[in-house]
Chain A
Amino acid sequence: KQEVTQIPAALSVPEGENLVLNCSFTDSAIYNLQWFRQDPGKGLTSLLLIQSSQREQTSGRLNASLDKSSGRSTLYIAASQPGDSATYLCAVDNNNDMRFGAGTRLTVKP
């Protein structure tokens, strides 16, 4: 059974810092990996999707990498802003069976 782990569980940084969120998974036979953002009391918003054949994806200040063989992904956020404060979830897709990590709760202080 696929297990997805996210470290750290919570992170607090001052505005402007670059930061890295980590995700690891136990079964490397994935179709893709997604990073989501979840604001309190809200649903999930997809940030980046990396296909199993890809190594990274970029969108604005976000960059996600994937090392399938080692079962790891990172989400890099550049020049963090208070509006980036949210919970970030990593999810791996094994043939429409999407498994989520517990998330990293990020707080960016002004």
Chain B
Amino acid sequence: GAGVSQTPSNKVTEKGKYVELRCDPISGHTALYWYRQSLGQGPEFLIYFQGTGAADDSGLPNDRFFAVRPEGSVSTLKIQRTERGDSAVYLCASSLTTGRGETQYFGPGTRLLVL
């Protein structure tokens, strides 16, 4: 079946603008995760959802970042007043549940460049 998809694959924006990044998880996966990966670094946890609710948003760096998953499937990561430091690859992953040992399946990421 289809894997995790993310759109757009690349996004270039200007400092101060608002952006939305979309993630389509694997069908039937109840858990969805967002990560941010800077150049030369491993992914950094941002937030995860179990169903429609954000179970843990402790990784969001500040209140300019927000994510939703209104119907328990597609999720949107929203960044307000973008800054150059927000430039990174934003990765989404999904898993069947949030139980121990559940493998997370990653999408290809959205490469965000803030000029």
Contacts and interface: CB of A to CB of B under 8 A. Distances in A.
Interface string A34-57: 101000011111100101000000
Given A42-B108, A43-B108, A4 B42 contact: yes
Given A43-B91, A46-B103, A97 B45 contact: yes
A98 B56 contact: no
A101 B44 CA distance: 9
A49 B43 contact: no
Secondary structure at the B interface, as helix, strand, loop or mixed, is loop
B101 A100 contact: no
30 contacts: A31-B101, A32-B101, A34-B103, A36-B106, A42-B108, A42-B109, A43-B4, A43-B91, A43-B106, A43-B108, A44-B43, A44-B91, A45-B106, A46-B105, A49-B103, A51-B101, A89-B42, A93-B100, A96-B31, A97-B45, A97-B58, A97-B59, A98-B33, A98-B45, A98-B104, A100-B35, A100-B42, A100-B44, A103-B41, A103-B42
Contacts of A98: 33, 45, 104
Interface of B: 4, 31, 33, 35, 40-45, 48, 55-56, 58-59, 91, 93, 98, 100-101, 103-109
A96 B101 contact: no
A103 B37 CA distance: 12
Contact of A43 (B58, B98, B109): B109
A21 interface: no
A8 to B, nearest CB: 14
